[in-house]
Structures are given as structure tokens and as C-alpha cells.
Amino acid sequence: MKKSHLMAALVLAGLLAGPIAGCTSTPTRESTGEFIDDAAISGKVRAQLIGDKDLNVLKIDVTTFKGVVQLSGFVDSASIKARAGTVAAGVEGVKEVRNNLVIK
């Protein structure tokens, strides 16, 4: 194989691998599929929080990364904080809940 053909093949391989590498997951970055799954989990958690009459979802922020849900914001009591954690943990796809709610 000529040197120019080899170089062209390597460049083409690099171009093709670029988009694939961008879709892979790392410990600090989600793949496209994980991002979509996590967005759906966050939406389901928010819906459950809204549906619970004892919780004020406007004061609770929900973020999800690789199935781990983080709750943050302010609540009025320890029982509300615990309830929010329980509600979030009950959502399908949630691997872990990090309840960082602050009692004011």
C-alpha cells in the first residue's frame, strides 16, 4: 500500500471513530443514551414529587447522572426531606438517591 493511501485510510478511520467516541460513556460523562434515560428518570421523579401532596416540588431540584438522582433545595422538615427521598427511590430506573435537601 502506498504511503498516501495509508495516510488517507488513517484519516478516514479517525473521522469515522470521532463521532463514535463522542457517544461513549466515561466516569464523568454520560453517553447520549444515558443522558436521555437520565432525563426521563428526572421527569418521572418530578412527576411523583408533584403528585405527593406533602411535597412542594417548586423547592426541590432533581438532577440525574447515570441513574443516581440528586435532590437539592429547601424543605420545611426532616419528615418532608425523608419523604422526598423515599418517593425518588421508588421511581423505576433510580439506582441511588443523594438527598441533599436542606431543612430551613
pLDDT of residue 3: 61
Is 6 inside a domain boundary? no
Task: Report the CATH number that the domain containing residue 41 is assigned in CATH.
Answer: 3.30.1340.30
Residue 90 CA from chain centroid, whole number = 16
Query: Of all residues in the chain, what percent carry a pLDDT higher than 70?
Result: 76
**Rounded CA gap, 96 and 73, in Å?**
18
Is 82 inside a domain boundary? yes
- Domain residues for the domain of 35 are 31-103
Mean pLDDT in the chain? 84
Is 36 inside a domain boundary? yes
Residue 39 has pLDDT above 70, yes or no: yes
**Rounded CA gap, 27 and 75, in Å?**
31
The model scores a pTM over 0.95: no
Mean pLDDT, residues 54-77 taken together: 89
Mean pLDDT, residues 14-36 taken together: 72
Residues 6+ away with beta carbon under 8 Å from 20: none
